[in-house]
Amino acid sequence: MSSAIGNPYDDLLADVYDLMYPDALSGTAEAVEFVAGLCPPTGSVLEFGVGNGRLAVPLSARGLEVFGIDSSSRMLGDLAERDPDGKVKAVEGDFLTASTGRRHEVVLMALNTFFSLPQQEQQIDCLRRMREHLAPGGRVVLEAFDPSPYHRQEGERTTTRFLGPGTVMLESSHVVPSQQLIILVFALLADGPTRTAHTALRYAWPAEIDAMARCAGLRLVERHAGWEREPYGPGSQRHVSVYEAADAAR
Ligand SMILES: C[S@@+](CC[C@H](N)C(=O)[O-])C[C@H]1O[C@@H](n2cnc3c(N)ncnc32)[C@H](O)[C@@H]1O
Answer yes or no: is the C-beta of 58 below 6 A from any ligand 1 atom: no
Tens digit of each residue's pLDDT (9 = 90 or more) over 199-216: 899 999 999 999 999 999
Closest C-alpha among 39, 38, 83, 19 to residue 57? 83
* Atom 11 in ligand 1: residue holding the nearest Cα: 49
d(CA 223, CA 239): 7
Does residue 163 carry a pLDDT above 90?
no
Contacts of 173 (CB under 8 A, 6+ apart): 155, 156, 181, 182
Q: Is the pLDDT higher at 195 or at 232?
A: 232
How many whole angstroms from 199 Cα to the centroid of ligand 1?
Answer: 12
| Confidence (pLDDT) at 73 | 92
Q: pLDDT-derived band of residue 2, with 50, 70 and 90 as boundaries?
A: very low
Query: What's the CATH class of domain 149-201?
Result: mainly beta
| Confidence (pLDDT) at 7 | 67
* Atom 1 in ligand 1: residue holding the nearest Cα: 113
Answer yes or no: is the C-beta of 10 below 6 A from any ligand 1 atom: yes
Share of the chain above pLDDT 70, in %: 96
| Confidence (pLDDT) at 49 | 97
Average pLDDT across the chain, whole number: 91
Contacts of range 37-40, beta carbons closer than 8 Å, 24 or more positions apart: 38/105, 38/106, 38/139, 38/141, 38/242, 39/64, 39/105, 39/106, 40/105
Closest C-alpha among 158, 118, 140 to residue 242? 140
Q: pLDDT-derived band of residue 168, with 50, 70 and 90 as boundaries?
A: confident
Q: Is the pLDDT higher at 246 or at 10?
A: 246
Does residue 191 carry a pLDDT above 80?
no
Answer yes or no: is the C-beta of 125 below 6 A from any ligand 1 atom: no
Closest C-alpha among 46, 204, 220 to residue 121? 204
Answer yes or no: is the C-beta of 110 below 6 A from any ligand 1 atom: yes
Q: Which residues are 46's β-sheet partners? A: 67, 107
The ranges assigned to domains in the chain are 8-146+204-245, 149-201
How many whole angstroms from 49 Cα to the centroid of ligand 1?
Answer: 3
CB 67 within 8 A of CB 45: yes
How many whole angstroms from 250 Cα to the centroid of ligand 1?
Answer: 32
Answer yes or no: is the C-beta of 55 below 6 A from any ligand 1 atom: yes
Does residue 9 carry a pLDDT above 80?
no
Range scoring the smallest mean pLDDT among 5-9, 123-127, 128-132 = 5-9
Q: Which residues are 142's β-sheet partners? A: 109, 241
Answer yes or no: is the C-beta of 28 below 6 A from any ligand 1 atom: no
What residue type is 26 in one-letter code?
S
Average pLDDT over residues 15-23: 72
d(CA 60, CA 35): 11
| Confidence (pLDDT) at 187 | 84
Does residue 5 carry a pLDDT above 60?
no
Answer yes or no: is the C-beta of 17 below 6 A from any ligand 1 atom: no
Does residue 20 carry a pLDDT above 60?
yes
Share of the chain above pLDDT 90, in %: 72
How many whole angstroms from 50 Cα to the centroid of ligand 1?
Answer: 6
d(CA 35, CA 55): 9
- Superfamily assignment of 8-146+204-245 in CATH? Vaccinia Virus protein VP39 (3.40.50.150)
* Atom 13 in ligand 1: residue holding the nearest Cα: 49
* Atom 18 in ligand 1: residue holding the nearest Cα: 94
d(CA 72, CA 86): 17
The atom number, within ligand 1, closest to the CA of 50 reads 6
Tens digit of each residue's pLDDT (9 = 90 or more) over 42-93: 899 999 999 999 999 999 999 999 999 999 999 999 999 999 999 999 999 9
Does residue 3 carry a pLDDT above 60?
no
